[in-house]
A and B are shown apart, each in its own frame.
Chain A
Amino acid sequence: MTGQPRLRPAPARLAALRPLPAGGPARAVYLALALLVVLGWVLFALRGEQFLTMENIVGIQQRSAALGIVAIGQTMVILAGSLDLSVAYLISLTSLVAAETMAGGDGMVVPAIAAVLAVSATVGLVNGLVVTGLRVHAFIATLGVGLIVAGLLDARYDGPAGSVPASFQHLGYDRIGPLPVSALLWAAVAAAAWFLLRRTRLGHRIYAVGGDAEVARLSGVRTGRVVVAAHVICSVCAGIGGLLLASRLGAGAPTVGTDGGYDLESIAAVVLGGTALAGGRGGVAGTVGGVLLLAVLDSVFNQLEIDSFAKDVVRGVVLVAALAIYARGRRTP
């Protein structure tokens, strides 16, 4: 900084000591994914079976799509330093909104989609305003909003309702070549989110608010708006998830979201992908990897016919181990 001698800054040297690969957690999760695939492949080859057949892969993609889309939305709120526990209830709600509005008629598909987006954006707005305006911690705020939605659903429905036309079921079941339409939708949502986080002001500010809300505020960011926007995006993603599930079920169901465990599972996928639960660090790429990792793990279990109890144990171990590894990577300054 001056004409006087200055020493090279040390941080560059320290970087070499970091135990994680240069890409950080996002890279690590793909490494783990690759490892798992190889491991599975070897394992099944020894048993004389085939792993990851075409059918298998398509199945993984289809099963991942709904969770993947919800997890993308969850990534947004978590990066912004918030959290959304209402997604599972919102998925149920929007699956019903979609199926009931369509009521089997082709003509109502577009209005139904519009209605789902409007409903989910509204729920997101409420979440965001409760978190920022009323200063209720996101955990409680979104749980509360979710329970309100659950209550309304319980009061009105006690089973599947509405129906979607055959044309709309293409979304859930069709493929273009080897790629399911639902997976393409997931990819599109992920790409949009990636672009938003990397290239737009809102994206930059989501990282800033999640990183340190006070720093962001002192730098002139209107932090409340950013958090509200992230919540709206998250809820809209959940709404898209609801549409997808309605398409696959052929109807709406009041418990389809909670049965799928989309709330905690989406959060698990996000942190597995290396996004910090405290916010401000991570991204979409990691989340996609996290969702895929969970899905491949699932398909290995299915093929091995392991019971669901052991499955949960292994998933729990994987989650904790991953976070422990990320934490190690961060200890050096």
Chain B
Amino acid sequence: MLKMTGIGKSFQGVRVLSGVDLEAAAGEVHAVVGENGAGKSTLMKILAGVHSPDEGTIEIDGRPVTFGHPIEAQRSGVAIIHQEFNLLPERTVAQNVFLGREPGRWGLVDRAAMESATAELLHSLGEETFGPGDLVRRLSVAQQQVVEIAKALSLNARIVVMDEPTAALAEHEVGLLYALVRRLTARGITVLYISHRLREVFELADRITVLKDGSRVATEAAAGLDTAALVRLMVGRELDAHFPARAGGPPGEVVLSVRGGGNARLRDIDLEVRAGEIVGLAGLQGSGRTELAKALFGAEPFTTGEMRPRRPRSAREGIAAGIGLVTEDRKAEGLLLGQRVRDNALLVARATGGGRPAVEKLLERVRLSPPRPELEVRTLSGGNQQKVVLAKWMTVAPRVLLFDEPTRGVDVGAKAAIHDLMRELARDGTGILMISSELPELIGMSDRVIVLRDGRIAGELPAGATEEAVMHLAAAS
């Protein structure tokens, strides 16, 4: 069905892929895994006609193809859900889904047909919270992901590439994606699946291809591998599967507290974070987790309630009060994509006059790869961009750090590094509040878990709570 042979690609003289082979049969789920920067997205972009390969050939159904433009790949039956969002915020859902392929004749757009086809797609995805006429700008990240999926499905493609499709989905939404993937493969469609969540990879994949530093390390049947073996292939060494040990000792003084905090999205928030502890924040998509983080930070401030050390009315005040926020949407809120790694890492330090921290050291500590501060952030792989955001906040050593999905899109090795880092920060006396949609991570890292529901605190669970207990609190009506 699909056969990529000897694919090679360099960007500005830097080799990113060399001699990569990839073969997938009709109806197969073929996972592609590897560390951040291994070249997964680049390989998929070559298949989708976004980049043209320097070497190598692509065959679909035995016929060689070359794509000079994404439209040509689409016409050959390749659809891709990119790792980064590819939607126009100012256009409607239907306009986005059919962008570039608007139905109609004589150059006219048949709006009714477009909207009803979109409605049908959304329905088949079980989506009822928004419709074809809604502006994408008004949708949540998870809803936007659904639009991306609908867009890919609307192509009626025979090869569907999903580059980290679950990165923006909550746990319970992932199940729906599984069902969708199975429906696709039942129709003989080939799915290429990229994810750093190995649980998903084993759940879905028939075969797994491992990339490392731009080369293929192995292609194996999923049944013949286990997590440890796969991690060894990806990282090249054994990796401790456990979360770093908790500090153990009693938590320190209160570094952040809110009484009766509220705004348009939140109500009656009572919360305390102590020095040296990691507080997990759980909740469904839309429960107000991100809003709470932004309120504590001051970006979308509380309008009522008391907060200590003070209630920030802007991000700048939040930073001045010693609070840092690692945002969920790094593209829109976390990074200046056109600027160098160094300038991004120094952004907060410069804005607050925080001296001249040793950037190289910090980048090493977050394990940026390649560790080159002069690169433009735009050219880094998704996971490495996340590490730059982390480095940015570590330059100013805030007393409280709020992490919103800190390991989204980060590879297993780096994830462990970030976990270690968070523990280390806590040990040094930082109070940490962490949002994660990955429950094992949330439970494994947190000293206690606060669960949000509909903008209020639904309850609190001690360390070691079960996933069921968290879900129960998050979803109970």
Contacts and interface: CB of A to CB of B under 8 A. Distances in A.
What is the predominant secondary structure among interface residues of chain B facing chain A? Answer: loop
Given A215-B86, A218-B82, A15 B138 contact: yes
Contact of B108 (A201, A208, A219, A281): A201
Given A6-B285, A199-B108, A211-B90, 14 more contacts: A1-B173, A5-B475, A6-B284, A6-B286, A7-B286, A7-B454, A200-B108, A202-B107, A205-B99, A208-B99, A211-B91, A219-B86, A220-B71, A220-B99
A1 B176 contact: yes
B475 A2 contact: no
Contacts of B100: 205, 208, 216, 219-221
18 contacts: A1-B142, A1-B176, A2-B175, A2-B176, A6-B284, A7-B284, A8-B286, A14-B138, A15-B138, A204-B109, A205-B99, A207-B95, A208-B91, A211-B89, A216-B99, A218-B48, A220-B100, A280-B90
Interface in B94-126: 95, 99-102, 104, 107-109, 111, 125-126
Contact of A12 (B108, B138, B176): B138
A281 B139 CA distance: 18
Interface range for A: 35 or more
Nearest to B100: A220
Interface in B39-97: 48, 50, 69-71, 74, 82, 86-91, 95
7 smallest beta-carbon distances between A and B, as pairs: A11-B138, A220-B100, A220-B71, A7-B286, A211-B88, A219-B99, A221-B100
Contacts of B285: 6-7
Interface in B278-319: 284-287
A5 B477 contact: yes
A220 B155 CA distance: 11
A23 interface: no
B172 A2 contact: yes
Contacts of B107: 200-202
A328 interface: no
Interface residues of B, number: 50
A13 B140 CA distance: 13
Nearest to B128: A1
A5 B170 CA distance: 13
Interface in A211-248: 211-212, 214-222
Given A200-B108, A204-B102, A218-B50, A1 B137 contact: no
A14 B140 contact: no
B129 A6 contact: yes
Interface-central residue, A9, A207, A281, by most chain B CB under 10 Å: A9
A6 to B, nearest CB: 6
A216 B71 CA distance: 10
B146 A1 contact: yes
Contacts of A200: 107-109
Contacts of A48: none
B264 interface: yes
Interface of A: 1-2, 4-15, 17, 199-205, 207-208, 211-212, 214-222, 280-281, 333
Contacts of A6: 129, 284-286
A230 to B, nearest CB: 15
Contact of A222 (B69, B102, B151, B475): B69
A262 B190 CA distance: 55
B71 A222 contact: yes
A207 B172 CA distance: 35
A1 B138 contact: no
B213 to A, nearest CB: 26
B143 interface: yes
Interface-central residue, A1, A6, A219, by most chain B CB under 10 Å: A1
B428 interface: no
A201 B138 CA distance: 24
A220 B173 CA distance: 28
Interface-central residue, A211, A214, A218, A222, by most chain B CB under 10 Å: A218
Nearest to B89: A211
Interface string B452-477: 00100000000000000000000101
Contacts of B86: 214-215, 218-219
Interface of B: 48, 50, 69-71, 74, 82, 86-91, 95, 99-102, 104, 107-109, 111, 125-130, 137-140, 142-143, 146, 151, 172-173, 175-176, 264-265, 284-287, 454, 475, 477
A8 B265 CA distance: 12
B95 A204 contact: yes
A6 B82 CA distance: 26
Contacts of A1: 125-129, 142, 146, 173, 176
Contacts of B138: 9, 11-12, 14-15
A6 B283 CA distance: 11
Contacts of A211: 88-91
A210 to B, nearest CB: 9
Given A199-B108, A204-B95, A204-B109, A218 B130 contact: no
A329 to B, nearest CB: 13
Contacts of B99: 204-205, 208, 215-216, 219-221
A17 B477 CA distance: 28
Nearest to B143: A9
A220 B108 contact: no
Contacts of A203: 109
Nearest to A221: B100
A201 B140 contact: no
Given A2-B126, A17-B264, A219 B70 contact: yes
B286 to A, nearest CB: 4
A216 B287 CA distance: 32
Contacts of A221: 71, 99-100
A13 B477 CA distance: 21
Given A9-B140, A220-B71, A280 B129 contact: no
Contacts of A207: 88, 90-91, 95
Contacts of A333: 137
Nearest to A3: B126
Contacts of B125: 1
Contacts of B82: 218
Contact of A10 (B128, B142, B172, B286): B286
A9 B90 CA distance: 18
Contacts of B88: 207-208, 211-212, 215-216, 280
